Structure 1
Amino acid sequence: MSSTPAAKSDDDLYREGSQYRIWSFSQSELEEVRRSVNRIASEHLAHEHQMARSAERGGEEEGVKIEYLTEGEEYEMLLHYCVKVQDAAAVYKLPSHIKATAIQYLKRFYLKYSLMEFHPRNIMYTCLFLATKSENHFISIDNFVQPLQRVSKQSIIDLEFIVAQTLSFTLLVHHAFNPIHGYFLDLQSVFADRMDEIRSAHDRARRYANDSLFSDAAFLFTPPQIALAALMMANEGLMDAYMDVKFGQNAVLLRQLKTTTERIKSYIVEGGKPKIGSERALALERKLYVCRNPEKARKRFGNGSSSESLNDSAEPAAKRVKIEQEDTVMT
């Protein structure tokens, strides 16, 4: 007599999907992906700049020293623009899951391309607009660009297919918000006399899940695991009791879950502080402009041959901000 197959957990189902197959990594794999993307883009830009300089000088191959963004600087800027996605989502009063989808689109895009190839300002609005479509929250392109300055609807339309293709058309994104709600319902069935505590933990856990968006947690762990860690941070005593009820008969599994949630908690804490200061953001914008447009920068900031002379010239702050406004997308 055949036994009934065990029911699959949410984790099991998630691991069968395209999000896990394409967008899940170990920490070392993720670091190598970013390192490779940064290296390839830097080498490609250096070659293009060398060729352009050589042609300008009639074949003379004089090198132009330009400092390209490092892997760490690219990640800093990426998180800066993830915060900008969150701010833009608030302008449109979009639900949390749409904001989360747009942020994940942006982070996935820059696992395939460098910020030095596509400026994140243009990509972030395309990701947000695409997220409203994939999450069935219709906003017309005209209404979408209406509150935006220096962003045309054509610039979004032109990039939409490139972004979707770069994402391997995996537009459905699973987040921790749904598993948090699932745990919320199950907690009520286990601890019916602790409703106020459960509701409070649910609301706080959603805020921790939001913080996780600004970390690498989604690339390293499953949404149910992130949800469990967020609830543990919200009310550790409640969740310890819950896990003892649910998994207490399997000491090995319980220990593994607690180890995993502890790891995730460190990522959530890190993600809760994603902002960089305005001066740092301006410095990185300036460096990005220089490495994408070395000749324009040279004419604007002087004739020094090194990126140091370009990056350190004493420009008024208002004029430096104009750099970002005038930058264009490289394709």
Structure 2
Amino acid sequence: MAPKTDDDLYRQGSQYRLWSFTVTELASIREKVNKRAIAKIKHEHAANSFDHLPVEFLTVQEELDLVLYYCGKMQDMASLFKLPSHVKATGISYLKRFYLRHSVMEYHPKNILHACLFLAAKAENHFISIDNFTQLLAKVTHESILELEFTVAQALSFTLMVHHAFSPIHGYFLDIQATFPSRIDEIGAAHDAARRLANDSLFSDAAFLFTPPQIALGALAMANEALIKQYLEIKFTNQPALLEQLSKVITNVRTYIEQGAQQLTKERVVAIDKKLYFVTNPGKLNKRKNEDSNGTSSAVDSDAKRVKIDKTEDDTTPVP
């Protein structure tokens, strides 16, 4: 029997099969990646006679926080290149997926994010030449991106197509208009607000736990709860059990969207990056006191060309 809904089709695809998890499964994957990296680095430290040094390895939460910080940097970078929201969203998805396969203690996100965004632009048919891509980024070379491109693609299991909540939001928008034709302005406002909320969801685990239509419905419900409640009651008049199930999903999605909207403090990110610096440079630990008193240079402070523009999810014209 042919699938009846977009959600059914999604569940047949590679994104659902490879990148959808329960909360417990997702936590377990991150724990395993963290432990594997620590064991590997401890072995390397011992081989170089650094095993006597009191290295503080990153926790699972610290790794996740650093990845989310660089997801924000990718959003800034996508705006710099005037990339559409779905290209930016794909790049962020690549970065988050990469770190379900590798640890930030193995590959620093400041290097991986460039390769992720460059690959996302190609995958989404908004190709940017390597020359145009690097000329706007300080200290980023052709080689630093291209040498990591295969590593990123391999970590993604070569599943480069990514489905996001933006398309289902538009689909709901059209159907809600057909359901309530006299409420166009209200529905349009809900649509625009839902897109912003879907953008917030990119900075949470929502995409690993829910389908794009579920995230879209949650975002729309946050944008206009009364409207979506009325819409669903009409659509599922004779299916009270399904309506109750959808209500629970919407509540759960909202929780993750709210989490995604929270900002990490730069102080926390700098502290995590400093720990990471000594994990990857254990020989520098003996100079830590001097560096702390003088102010350790963090990768967070030396990002390629600080992008001082407002974050946005609006579609814009890509760089030629």
**Structure 1 length as normaliser, TM-score?**
0.88
2:272 is matched with 284
Is 1:9 aligned to 2:21, yes or no? no
Q: In structure 2, what is the Cα distance between the partners aligned to 1:242 and 1:198?
A: 11
- Is 1:138 aligned to 2:127, yes or no? yes
- Runs of 4+ in structure 1 deviating by more than 6 angstroms, as ranges, are none
- Does the C-alpha gap of structure 1 residues 125 and 212 become closer, same or farther in structure 2, counting only changes over 3 Å? same
* C-alpha distance in structure 1 between counterparts of 2:273 and 2:265, whole Å: 12
Larger radius of gyration: 1
Structure 1 partner of 2:310: none
Residue correspondence of structure 1 range 197-208 to structure 2 within 5 A: 197-208=186-197
Partners of 1:220 and 1:312 in 2: CA distance: 45
What amino acid is the match of 1:51?
Answer: A
Contact between 1:50 and 1:64, CA under 8 Å: does it hold in 2?
no
Identical-residue share of aligned pairs (%):
53
Cα distance in 2 for residues equivalent to 1:322 and 1:186: 47
Residues 7 and 156 of structure 1: CA distance in aligned 2, closer, same or farther (over 3 Å): closer
Task: Name the SS for the 1:11 alignment partner.
Answer: helix
What pairs with 1:186-225 in structure 2 (closer than 5 Å)?
Answer: 186-225=175-214
CA change 1:82–1:312 in 2 (3 A) is: farther
Separation in structure 1 between the aligned mates of residue 247 and residue 129 of structure 2, nearest angstrom: 45
1:320 to 294, 297, 312: 297
Q: 1:31 aligns with which of 20, 27, 32?
A: 27
Distance in 1 separating the partners of 2:294 and 2:153: 39
* 1:43 and 2:39 correspond: yes
Kindly tell me the number of residue pairs found equivalent between the two proteins: 303
C-alpha contact (below 8 Å) 1:130/1:160 kept by paired residues: yes
Amino acid at match of 2:70: Y
- 1:76-115 aligned at under 5 Å gives the runs 76-115=65-104
1:47 to 1:200, Cα distance in 2 relative to 1, 3 A? same
Partner of 2:314: none
Aligned AA (2:97): R
How far apart in 1 are the matches of 2:66 and 2:277?
13
Closer/same/farther in 2, CA of residues 311 and 252 from structure 1, 3 Å limit: farther
Structure 2: segments with no counterpart, 5+ residues: 304-320
The whole-number CA distance in structure 2 between the counterparts of 1:157 and 1:210 is 28
1:106-255 mapped onto 2 (5 Å cutoff)? 106-255=95-244
The residue type paired with residue 117 of structure 1 is E
Shift of 1:278: 2.0
Q: 1:72 to 1:189 in 2, by over 3 A?
A: same
Q: Structure 2: how far apart are the matches of 1:311 and 1:21?
A: 48
Shift of 1:63: 2.3
* Inter-partner Cα distance in structure 1 for 2:223 and 2:299: 43
Question: Aligned pair in 2 of structure 1 residues 16, 52: CA closer, same or farther (>3 Å)?
Answer: same
Cα deviation for residue 316 of structure 1 reads 3.0
One-letter code aligned to 1:45 = I
Please list the CA deviations of residues 110-157 of structure 1 after superposition, one character each: whole Å capped at 9, or x if unmatched: 000000000100100100000000000021000001110111111100
SS at match of 2:163: coil
Distance 1:316 1:11 in 2: 55
Kindly provide the CA deviation profile for residues 195-231 of structure 1, in whole angstroms up to 9, marking residues without a partner as x: 0000000000000000000000000000000000000
Tell me which amino acid in the other structure corresponds to 1:10: D
What CA RMSD, in Å, does the superposition of the two structures yield over aligned residues? 1.7
Give the TM-score, by structure 2 length. Answer: 0.91
Confirm or deny that 1:18 pairs with 2:14. Answer: yes
Which residue identity lines up with residue 149 of structure 1 in the other structure?
A: A
Give the whole-Å Cα distance in 2 for the aligned partners of 1:207 and 1:195: 19
Q: How far apart in 1 are the matches of 2:279 and 2:151?
A: 23
Name the SS for the 2:182 alignment partner: helix
